[in-house]
A = this chain, B = another copy of it.
């Protein structure tokens, strides 16, 4: 399968690095003390490498029953006509009822509602949402739902402003053209109903390219909502399984963004508008991601135990938004990259249907598809930044990174410890124990690898993976998927 070009690259790569297996690389200065390593991580870059990072986040409003304010907001913004997006399951539930009540009491606030089909968005569902929004030429957008609904509203907004554009024009390269967004979009308000995607604060919008059996999307900070209304009442009716899957998304947003390659390793853009939303880890995203990690490890098990635990639900909503700010500016990497074919191929392949999800179609919920490779991924990434992985280990073990139980682990063994710790945490939440439990077999792995390769947007941020077009990139992915078959 290796082309001449990829062989040439591989040779070049080997000549530059004495050991290409990340388990044996030493150029991250594993023996350096933590503080110095931290300092070096963001040292001044050389040549054409990136020298700056940006931090963007939506305005956020947190509170119980704060959904009831959205009518005032749209009125204050002098909305001419509002496009309200939700889904068929939510249409009759509290969050949507509270939204409509709030819109109804405002004089002169015309709005239209679209209830999207249940499940994750596809190019077809996006196309019909876009057509509907273009027809109405909404001045303002409002999304009430999980990531699927909010992401669809972002796409509808984008393609209402860019009336003539094709869906693939803005989709991340190389799947789409990845064009820059050169005009401001219309105001979008997002009201999340799960503590998961953090989509209320990011410029990311993901959909399922069913024709190619994987998910991809648009990641551009122009898409981010102007306001996220985070109402602690809106997750009260979530089934336990939705809480867990959404919470796992938060967990891996924080873990992946905290361990992504440093922003200084990317190439510098020629114009700041070309700086990607997913920039690699940076000192500001680190604060958000690490806070979200600590909070999720503490409170997600409490929500899983008792979905009526108000304090835990509130903290998970905060963590979801914080992780959104973290990964929205730093990016995600391998778990998300591999999750797209894992969930995308399910419809044709194993047809796994997760308990607790209402829609009749097969579904591997996003959080589950992300978590399933978690242990193997962080075992793989550990050598790239042993100190960060030691900090992660300390969070899961509820101790300090300076505790002897953590410091005495040699760098070479951190990965194995992280593998065990994450696997135990997932097991405690009832996550299926590997790809086999979802119905995949060893024979499916090459297909999952090929489905991951086009996710360059996120794979480029993965430490230690190298160029995934190369054989060694494929080898790494294959090995991680094999290690994720069962545990």
Taking beta carbons and an 8 Å cutoff, which residues of A are in contact with B? 39, 44, 51-57, 59-66, 69, 72-73, 76, 182, 221, 271-273, 282-284, 287, 291, 311, 318, 322
Contact A60 B52 (CB under 8 A): no
Q: Could you say which residues of chain B place their CB within 8 Å of the CB of A291?
A: 287
Report if A66-B51 is in contact (Cβ < 8 Å); known contacts: A73-B272, A182-B76: yes
Given A72-B272, A76-B271, A60 and B55 touching (CB < 8 A)? yes
Q: A284-B60, A287-B291 are in contact. Are A52 and B72 (CB under 8 A)?
A: no
Asked whether, in the complex, the Cβ of B55 is within 8 Å of the Cβ of A59, the reply is: yes
- Across the A-B interface, the 10 shortest Cβ-Cβ residue pairs: A52-B63, A56-B59, A52-B66, A54-B61, A55-B60, A69-B272, A76-B273, A72-B271, A51-B63, A72-B272
Closest B residue by C-beta to A44: B64
Chain B contacts of A311 at CB under 8 A?
39
Contact B51 A65 (CB under 8 A): yes
B-side contacts of A59, CB under 8 Å: 54-56, 221
CB-CB under 8 A from A287, the residues of chain B are 287, 291, 322
**Residues of the B chain whose Cβ atoms lie less than 8 Å from the Cβ of A271:** 69, 72, 76
A247 CB, nearest partner CB in chain B, Å: 18
Bound-state Cα–Cα, A272 to B271, Å: 37
Report the Cα distance A291→B284, complex, angstroms.
Answer: 10
Cβ B61 vs Cβ A52 within 8 A? yes
Q: Are B60 and A54 in contact (CB under 8 A)?
A: yes
Q: State A65–B39 Cα separation when bound (angstroms).
A: 19
Name the B residues within 8 Å of A53 (CB-CB).
61-63
Residues of B within 8 A of A73 (CB): 272-273
Copies of this chain present in the complex amount to 2
Tell whether, in the assembled complex, residue A62 and residue B52 are in contact, meaning their CB atoms are under 8 Å apart.
Answer: yes
**Cα–Cα, bound, A271→B66 (Å):** 11
Chain B hits for A284, CB < 8 A: 60, 62, 318, 322
Residue pair B272, A61 in contact (C-beta under 8 Å): yes
A455 to B259, CA, bound (A): 45
| A60→B221 CA distance, assembly (Å) | 12
Collect the chain B residues with CB atoms within 8 Å of residue A51's CB.
Answer: 63-66
CB-defined A-B contacts under 8 Å, sample of 18: A39-B311, A44-B64, A51-B66, A52-B64, A52-B66, A53-B61, A53-B62, A54-B62, A55-B61, A61-B272, A62-B282, A69-B271, A72-B273, A73-B272, A76-B273, A284-B318, A284-B322, A287-B322
- Minimum C-beta distance from A126 to chain B (A): 26
* Alpha-carbon distance A437/B388, docked complex (angstroms): 47
Find the B residue at minimum CB distance from A56. Answer: B59
10 additional A-B pairs beyond A39-B311, A52-B69, A73-B273, beta carbons within 8 Å, are: A53-B62, A54-B62, A62-B284, A72-B272, A72-B273, A73-B272, A76-B182, A76-B273, A283-B318, A287-B291
Smallest CB gap from A287: residue in B: B291
A122 CB to nearest B CB, Å: 31
Q: Whole-angstrom distance from the CB of A190 to the nearest CB of chain B?
A: 14
B residues near A66, Cβ cutoff 8 Å: 51-52
Least CB separation from A66: chain B residue: B52
> Shortest CB–CB separation between residue A196 and chain B, in angstroms?
18
Q: In the complex, A57 Cα to B62 Cα: how many Å?
A: 15
**Complex alpha-carbon distance, A55 and B62, angstroms:** 8
**Chain B, residue nearest A73 (CB):** B272
Measured between alpha carbons, how far is A287 from B53 in the docked complex, in Å?
A: 20
Q: Which of A55, A284, A311 has the most CB of B within 10 A?
A: A55
Q: How far is it, in angstroms, between the C-alpha of A44 and the C-alpha of B232 when the chains are bound? A: 11
Question: CA–CA, A272 to B62, complex, Å?
Answer: 12
Report B-chain residues with C-beta under 8 Å of the C-beta of A282.
62
Cβ distance A441 to chain B, nearest Cβ, rounded Å: 44
Measured in the bound complex, the distance between the Cα atoms of B182 and A287 in whole Å is 34
Q: Considering the chains assembled together, what is the distance between the CA atoms of A426 and B62 in angstroms?
A: 36
Bound form: Cα–Cα A331–B478 in Å: 52
Q: How far is the CA of A39 from the CA of B311 in the complex (A)?
A: 8
Compute how far the CA of A273 lies from the CA of B63 in the bound complex, rounded to whole angstroms: 15
Which residues in B have their C-beta under 8 angstroms from that of A182? 76
- Contact between B57 and A57 (Cβ–Cβ < 8 Å)? yes
List of B residues within 8 angstroms of A44 by Cβ: 64
How far apart sit A283 and B64, CA to CA, in the bound complex (Å)? 14
